Amino acid sequence: MKPENLLMIPGPVQLHERIIKALGSQMISHRSKDFEEVYEYCREALKPLFGTKGDVVIISGSGTAGMEAAVASFSKVRKITCVSNGKFGERFAEIAWRYAEVDHVKFEWGDSIDLDKVRESLENGSEMVTFVHNETSTGILNPAREICKIAKEYDALVVMDGITSVGGDEVRMDEWGVDVCIVGSQKCLGAPPGLAAVAINEKAWEFYNERVPYYLDLKAYVKKAEKNQTPYTPAVPLFLALKEALKIIEEEGLENRIERHRRLAKAVREWAIEAGLELFPRLNEYSSYSNTVTAIKMPKGITDSELRGTLRNEFGITISGGQEHLKGKIFRIGNMGNVSKREIVATLAAIESVMLRKGVEIKPALNKVYEVLG
């Protein structure tokens, strides 16, 4: 009999039973008082996760829809600085060039951002800067506070992808000076995929472009949100699931949730180092390892298909591989959402088992996990 699947990827994530139950609720009208109450709760509950007192709206679409809505809606600029050191930073650049001139400040995937190069780009006339806070393709946490500080020296709009950090790591939009931030429902929030929330401050409206794509016009979403409605028919079951996910976060407490994510990620990193494996990101004084996903170099003696394929077929555990030119070179373990010590231990024990049986020279290291997590 095939084992039950355990998702240990950087989204989508395992769903709590309460969220699964919410998904099965009877349909309600999206123009009803019932839906308005759901939407109002979701918007207000998301604000402390973003670290903002500003507007929050929710789009029926993936995180990428939120990214494009953010760039397009506030694209009344001549040039955009797009900072990237991984796949999703590059996605921002791919979106941005459709709306303005782009200065792509590009680093090798997994390398730390050189802040001097960001400053140099802004000195050359950029009016907006985009970047990814937590780059899951490489497992690195980028220096949001420092990038914002530089951008504000040039009065540039800051658009941050917080898709895999909001709800799982510290995000302080208002304090840092982030003007627009995006989160995806299927990441640290622990809900199903299909919703993107966008947080917006007042400064962003100075950059509003009326020629935004119709469905992604954030002004339409903010206007309707005044009545706790969406401008177009929303994915109602996903909103019901998101409400339950946010209730779970509220019950756990945001600080506790962030600390849990940090401890779980630290346990994975300590395990990898003790086992003799090499973490992928190359850090500088401003960057750090991701607290929601760990990227590890693939050791000699095993292929990507042998590792991830055996984990999936024999143990029912799914982890991620590398993307694009990193395929076969790294593997990634997610610890987002409602993950506990149990899932981390099961995943790492299974990886050890597969690698040892394939003759990989690693040291059994689960003791490190117990040291960190107790």
Q: In this structure, are residues 344 and 335 in contact, taking their beta carbons and an 8 Å threshold?
A: yes
Separation of alpha carbons 244 and 260, rounded Å:
19
**162 and 125 share a domain?**
yes
Q: In this structure, are residues 90 and 109 in contact, taking their beta carbons and an 8 Å threshold?
A: no
- Tokens 């941005």 correspond to 96
Separation of alpha carbons 142 and 111, rounded Å:
10
Q: Pick the closest to residue 183 from 204, 169, 197 (CA basis).
A: 197
On whether residue 195 sits in a domain, the answer given is yes
Question: Where a domain ends, among 209, 226, 252?
Answer: 252
Residue 1 has a pLDDT of 45
Question: Where a domain ends, among 252, 271, 296?
Answer: 252
Q: Pick the closest to residue 295 from 326, 317, 318, 325 (CA basis).
A: 326
On whether residue 1 sits in a domain, the answer given is no
Q: Which amino acid is at 245?
A: A
Percent of the chain with pLDDT over 70: 99
**224 and 326 share a domain?**
no
Indicate whether 267 pLDDT > 60.
yes
**231 and 270 share a domain?**
no
Indicate whether 24 pLDDT > 70.
yes
**240 and 273 share a domain?**
no
Parallel, antiparallel, or unpaired: how do β-strands 180-184 and 195-200 relate?
antiparallel
On whether residue 271 sits in a domain, the answer given is yes
Q: In this structure, are residues 159 and 71 in contact, taking their beta carbons and an 8 Å threshold?
A: yes
On whether residue 266 sits in a domain, the answer given is yes
**240 and 268 share a domain?**
no
What is the count of structural domains for the chain?
Answer: 2
- In terms of Cβ atoms closer than 10 Å to its own Cβ (0-12, 13-18, 19+), residue 365 is middle
Q: Note down the domain range covering 323.
A: 6-13+253-373
Residue 73 has a pLDDT of 98
**248 and 268 share a domain?**
no
Q: In this structure, are residues 227 and 285 in contact, taking their beta carbons and an 8 Å threshold?
A: no
**273 and 187 share a domain?**
no
**39 and 146 share a domain?**
yes
**264 and 185 share a domain?**
no
Quick one: how far is CA 318 from the chain centroid? Answer: 18
Residue 3 has a pLDDT of 62
CATH number of domain containing 109: 3.40.640.10
pTM, 2 dp: 0.97
Mean pLDDT of 31-41: 98
On whether residue 334 sits in a domain, the answer given is yes
Structure tokens, 182: 């995006």
Structure tokens, 298: 């693939």
Parallel, antiparallel, or unpaired: how do β-strands 320-321 and 330-334 relate?
antiparallel
Q: Which stretches does DSSP call E strand in the chain?
A: 6-7, 55-60, 79-84, 101-106, 128-132, 134-135, 140-141, 157-161, 180-184, 195-200, 288-289, 293-297, 317-318, 320-321, 330-334
Separation of alpha carbons 128 and 257, rounded Å:
32
**132 and 154 share a domain?**
yes
On whether residue 96 sits in a domain, the answer given is yes
Q: Which amino acid is at 35?
A: F
Quick one: how far is CA 117 from the chain centroid? Answer: 24
Indicate whether 4 pLDDT > 80.
no
Structure tokens, 146: 């420092």
Residue 165 has a pLDDT of 98
On whether residue 313 sits in a domain, the answer given is yes
Question: Where a domain ends, among 222, 252, 282?
Answer: 252
Mean pLDDT of 348-374: 97
On whether residue 71 sits in a domain, the answer given is yes
Give ∠ CA 53-99-187 in degrees, rounded to 5.
Answer: 45
**Span 56-72, pLDDT tens digits:** 999 999 999 999 999 99
**247 and 258 share a domain?**
no
**Span 77-125, pLDDT tens digits:** 999 999 999 999 999 999 999 999 999 999 999 999 999 999 999 999 9
Residue 2 has a pLDDT of 56
**353 and 331 share a domain?**
yes
